[in-house]
């Protein structure tokens, strides 16, 4: 009989940015290699923070996505970035998940940073003697601290909760070795329980697209040097810095055009800025094929982070950026995982975050170097994807982490079977 795995995560397909593509991709891959995989997830809402059309009343809805059985449970979706409302969404999702039918999985995988939902699920798993793997994409309390969403005492309490939860799990999967170091040093998670599974790229390496036609479609002139940022528009992206850079470019006569594509809590404010800022525009989320084409049609791909972020996350957009064969400009801290990834891939340059003058200077310098060398520099992204960020390597690492728990699952089932 095939081993059964239940994956619980707030985000899933048809969301196509953030954590969802990796959860959906891994669920499909595990089913392909022989695991009987099922998913409990929430209502698709990210990054727009509103429920996707057609899913407004889909709590309790069952569907199959790429052959994976999926159960959706209902929950509120906050329309602002308030931590209390997001916490409420997590708790409702967690409570509805633990009251949903699970069957008898051999392993439960919970996706964080939905910390409180994951902790609630952990309680039910403990009652049924089912081992749990926490798949950590962002470190919850590091994010609260670095974005200023919570103050010192609250952060310390939350760190204690997060540490207790992670230490209670039989396995922890992280997306970067920096996360592994953090969990060992700051949360006391045993190193032997941690497995690093890198996020892989989920777009085609060479999309068939006419980039000139795509640039015309979006109104980009041939002389525009398009600096493109994709994905979530929230506090940690600090995208007002990009609007400020556009004003600097306009003042200095630099041929830069800063473009944001995606959604998020700060999108309305950024749209308002775009309405009165030349060389700055905000576009809605696009389908996967258009997204892949936009990455190739741009001249520079941008990662912009709030100053002070050194631990909390590795932007998922980097895996797609590296495939697009365009230079990457990262306005991030030198000690951040994003900077480490950029250096390891040899795919672009870093400038100081929160400094629009530096952002403009970096974009101009990077584009001039790219033109002067005929695009011969900062082209290590595709190599890095093939060697480090492949889907196959991620699946093998994840399956290895699951196999470590199979003896635990079997041992825990035996007492229950003996008394049946």
Measured CA to CA, the distance from residue 124 to residue 114 in angstroms comes to 16
Residue 297 CA from chain centroid, whole number: 23
Residues 359-387: tens digit of each pLDDT: 999 999 999 999 999 888 898 998 898 88
8 Å CB contact between 285 and 230: no
Domains of the chain: 4-200+390-418 (3.40.50.2000), 211-384 (3.40.50.2000)
Write the DSSP string, 174-210: ESSHHHHHHHHHHH---GGGEEE------S-SS----
CA distance 288 to 293: 9
pLDDT value at 411 more than 80: no
pLDDT > 80? residue 187: yes
Among 51-55, 245-249, 331-335, name the most confident range.
245-249
Residue 420's pLDDT band, with cuts at 50, 70 and 90, is very low
The whole-number pLDDT of residue 417 equals 40
pLDDT tens for each residue of 200-242? 876 665 556 789 999 999 999 999 999 999 988 988 899 999 9
pLDDT band at 51 (very low <50, low <70, confident <90, very high): very high
Helices (H), 259-316: 267-275, 288-297
Nearest CA to 199 out of 34, 23, 347 is that of 23
Percent of the chain at pLDDT > 90 equals 63
Rounded alpha-carbon distances, angstroms, from residue 73 to 28, 99, 151, 255:
20, 10, 32, 48
Find residue 135's DSSP bridge partners: 111, 173
Q: What is the mean pLDDT of residues 26-30?
A: 96
CA nearest to 25, candidates 275, 322, 415, 392: 392
CA pair distance 380, 142, nearest whole angstrom: 30
How much is the pLDDT for 212? 93
Asked if pLDDT for residue 344 goes beyond 80, the answer is: yes
Residue 127 has pLDDT above 50, yes or no: yes
Residue 143 has pLDDT above 70, yes or no: no
CA 64, CA 242: separation in Å to the nearest integer? 40
Nearest to 351 by CA among 343, 369, 367, 363: 363
The mean pLDDT of the chain is 89
- Give the confidence band of 419 by pLDDT, cuts at 50, 70, 90: very low
Q: For helices 140-147 and 152-168, what crossing angle results, to 10°?
A: 170
Q: Is the pLDDT of residue 398 over 60?
A: yes
The model carries a pTM of 0.79
The Cα 103–Cα 160 span in angstroms is: 31
Query: How many whole angstroms separate alpha carbon 60 and alpha carbon 68?
Result: 16
Find the range with the poorest average confidence among 36-40, 272-276, 386-390.
Answer: 386-390
Q: Which pLDDT score, from 0 to 100, does residue 205 have?
A: 57
> Which tokens go with 29?
């891959």
Provide the pLDDT for residue 312. Answer: 61
Residue 279 near residue 246 (C-beta atoms within 8 A)? yes
């Amino acid at each position: 009989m095939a081993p059964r795995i239940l994956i619980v995560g707030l985000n899933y397909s048809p969301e196509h940015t953030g954590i969802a593509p990796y959860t959906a991709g891994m669920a499909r891959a595990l089913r392909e290699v022989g695991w009987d995989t099922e998913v409990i997830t929430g209502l698709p809402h990210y990054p727009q923070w509103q429920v996707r059309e057609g899913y407004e009343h889909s709590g309790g809805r069952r569907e199959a996505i790429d052959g994976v059985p999926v159960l959706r449970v209902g929950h509120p979706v906050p329309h602002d970035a308030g931590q209390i409302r997001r916490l409420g969404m997590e708790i409702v999702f967690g409570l509805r998940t633990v009251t949903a039918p699970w069957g008898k999985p051999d392993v439960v995988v919970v996706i964080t940073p939905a910390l409180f939902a994951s902790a609630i699920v952990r309680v039910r798993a403990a009652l049924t003697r089912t081992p749990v793997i926490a798949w950590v994409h962002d470190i919850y309390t590091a994010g609260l601290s670095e974005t200023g969403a919570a103050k010192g005492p609250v952060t310390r309490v939350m760190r204690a909760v997060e540490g207790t939860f992670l230490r209670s799990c039989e396995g922890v999967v992280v997306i970067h070795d920096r996360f592994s170091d953090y969990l060992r040093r700051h949360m006391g998670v045993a190193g032997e329980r941690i497995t690093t599974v890198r996020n892989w790229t989920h777009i085609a390496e060479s999309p068939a697209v006419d980039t000139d036609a795509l640039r015309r479609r979006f109104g980009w002139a041939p002389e525009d040097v398009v600096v493109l940022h994709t994905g979530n528009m929230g506090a940690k992206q600090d995208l007002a810095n990009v609007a400020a850079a556009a004003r600097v470019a306009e003042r200095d006569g630099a041929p830069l055009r800063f473009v944001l594509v995606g959604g998020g809590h700060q999108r309305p404010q950024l749209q308002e800025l775009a309405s009165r800022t030349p060389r700055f525009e905000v576009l809605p989320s696009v389908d996967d094929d258009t997204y892949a084409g936009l990455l190739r049609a741009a001249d520079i791909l941008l990662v912009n982070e709030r100053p002070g972020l050194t631990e909390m996350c590795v932007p998922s957009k980097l895996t797609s950026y590296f495939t697009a064969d365009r230079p990457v400009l990262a306005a991030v801290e030198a000690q951040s995982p994003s900077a480490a990834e950029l250096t390891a891939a040899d795919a672009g340059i870093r400038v100081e975050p929160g400094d629009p003058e530096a952002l403009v200077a970096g974009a101009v310098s990077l584009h001039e170097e790219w033109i002067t060398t005929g695009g011969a520099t900062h082209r290590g992204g595709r190599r890095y994807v093939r060697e480090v960020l492949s889907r196959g390597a991620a699946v093998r690492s994840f399956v290895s982490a699951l196999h470590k728990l199979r003896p635990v699952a079997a041992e825990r089932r035996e007492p229950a079977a003996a008394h049946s």
